[in-house]
Amino acid sequence: MRLPSIFPWSMPLAALAILLLATLVQCASVPILRPDSLAAHTPGASNETSPVLDKRSIWVVQKVKCFMENYPVKKTTIQEGIDYLNRIAGTPNLHAGDWSRVSCSHKSAIYWMNMFHHDTALDSFEWVATGAQMVVDKCTTDDGYVSGETWFTDLAATGVWVVMVGYDPC
C-alpha cells in the first residue's frame, strides 16, 4: 500500500512507519530541550563529530523545486519549524540513503534526506533550516501556502542532500 506524499514518488507504508519511529517531532506540546541535551534525544544527531562522516561547511544549492499540487501547507507553520531548527544544537547526520523528519507541527513537516552514497553530516541544523527557508521564499503562494524541496550538493558534485517541506499527518 502506498500513501500520498509531498514527494514526486510514493513511499511504502512500512517505510513510512520506520521513518515515523526514527524521527524527532517538533510539536507545540513538546518542550524544547536544552541544547546540550537535545542531541542525546535526537536520532541522527550528536554534539561530537565523527571521522567516518563526511562533514562539510560548504554546500551549493543545486535547485529549488515547488510542488504546490502535492499537499501544500501553511507558510506560518513551516516558518515556526524553521525557527525551531535554527535553535537546535548538535550536528545532524544521516547514513547514505536515509532521511529524517526534523520538524512537524499542525500537519506541516520539514525533512532532510541524504542521497550521497556515504554518510553525511552537516555543521548544524541551520543548513536544514536554510533549505526550508529557500522553499518558503520561492514557493509560497499568494494565500500563504507552500510545498517543495531544496537540493544541495558539495563542490565536487559527488551527490546531493535534500530538504523537503510539505504535508505530514504528524
Residue-level pLDDT at 99: 95
Measure CA of the first residue to CA of the last residue in the chain; give whole Å: 19
| Residue with the three cell numbers 540513503 | 97
pLDDT, tens digit, for every residue of 111-159? 999 998 889 989 999 999 999 999 999 999 999 999 999 999 887 777 8
Residue-level pLDDT at 58: 76
The structure's pTM equals 0.67
Asked if residue 24 has pLDDT above 90, the reply is: no
Residue-level pLDDT at 59: 84
